[in-house]
């Protein structure tokens, strides 16, 4: 049976739909997290789930690792029949990682962004981080925002060339403004 996904798959983890082969019913809901700490999808209207090129799904969320400040970004993929165990993709540190967004390019590579205060000793200034899973291997996280103030709530898209496009809110100009950065041919501009 070939899986068919409707466009609503990009609306968020709690609103994805996967019709049956007859397009007449919903599959049963399935729990993805089983940690003692709570988990959340991104509240910033970023994509919490993305469809890959061969009808597989990629989900991203925030989840606890123990203490409330140890919220990290978790990832899982669905191969058409089973969800894989989740993987922490953010750096595990003493500051919360938040507001993830995920996109998948046409080669099936997974791209993730989130905000985190790991570079700030006081933990009061978030910055935007990016990480990619290329041919099944996670690259190291990269800080992509360059401001001296808070950068948060990133949202990510990948175009047909595989280039990444990220927007986020940033206070480097005083009031919160929207900033943009692109990763073209594997290099952040």
How many angstroms separate the CA atoms of 20 and 152, rounded?
Answer: 38
Count of beta carbons in the 10 Å neighbourhood of residue 45: 12
Q: How far is CA 110 from the centre of its chain?
A: 9
The answer to whether the CB of 89 falls within 8 A of the CB of 113 is no
Point out which residues pair with 57 in neighbouring strands.
Answer: 51, 78
CA dihedral 32, 38, 42, 47 (to 10 degrees): -10
- pLDDT tens over the chain, length 189 residues: 344 444 443 344 444 445 545 556 787 888 888 777 778 787 766 789 999 988 789 999 988 766 656 788 999 999 888 999 999 999 767 678 899 999 999 999 999 999 988 776 666 788 999 999 999 999 999 999 987 788 999 999 999 999 999 999 998 878 888 999 999 998 998
């Amino acid at each position: 049976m070939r899986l068919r996904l409707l466009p609503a798959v990009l609306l968020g983890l709690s609103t994805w739909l996967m019709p049956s082969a007859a397009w007449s019913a919903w599959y049963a809901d399935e729990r993805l997290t089983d940690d003692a700490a709570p988990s959340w999808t991104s509240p910033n209207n970023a994509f919490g789930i993305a469809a890959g090129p061969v009808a597989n799904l990629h989900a991203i969320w925030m989840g606890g690792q123990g203490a409330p400040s140890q919220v990290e970004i978790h990832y899982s993929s669905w191969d058409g029949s089973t969800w894989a165990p989740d993987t922490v993709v953010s750096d595990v540190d003493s500051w919360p990682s938040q507001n993830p967004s995920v996109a998948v390019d046409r080669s099936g590579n997974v791209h993730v962004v989130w905000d985190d205060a790991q570079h700030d000793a006081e933990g009061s200034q978030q910055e935007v981080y990016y990480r990619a899973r290329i041919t099944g291997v996670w690259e190291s996280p990269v800080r992509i925002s360059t401001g001296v103030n808070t950068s948060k709530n990133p949202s990510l898209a990948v175009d047909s060339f595989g280039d990444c496009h990220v927007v986020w809110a940033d206070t480097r100009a005083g009031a919160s403004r929207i900033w943009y950065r692109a990763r073209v041919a594997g290099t952040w501009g």
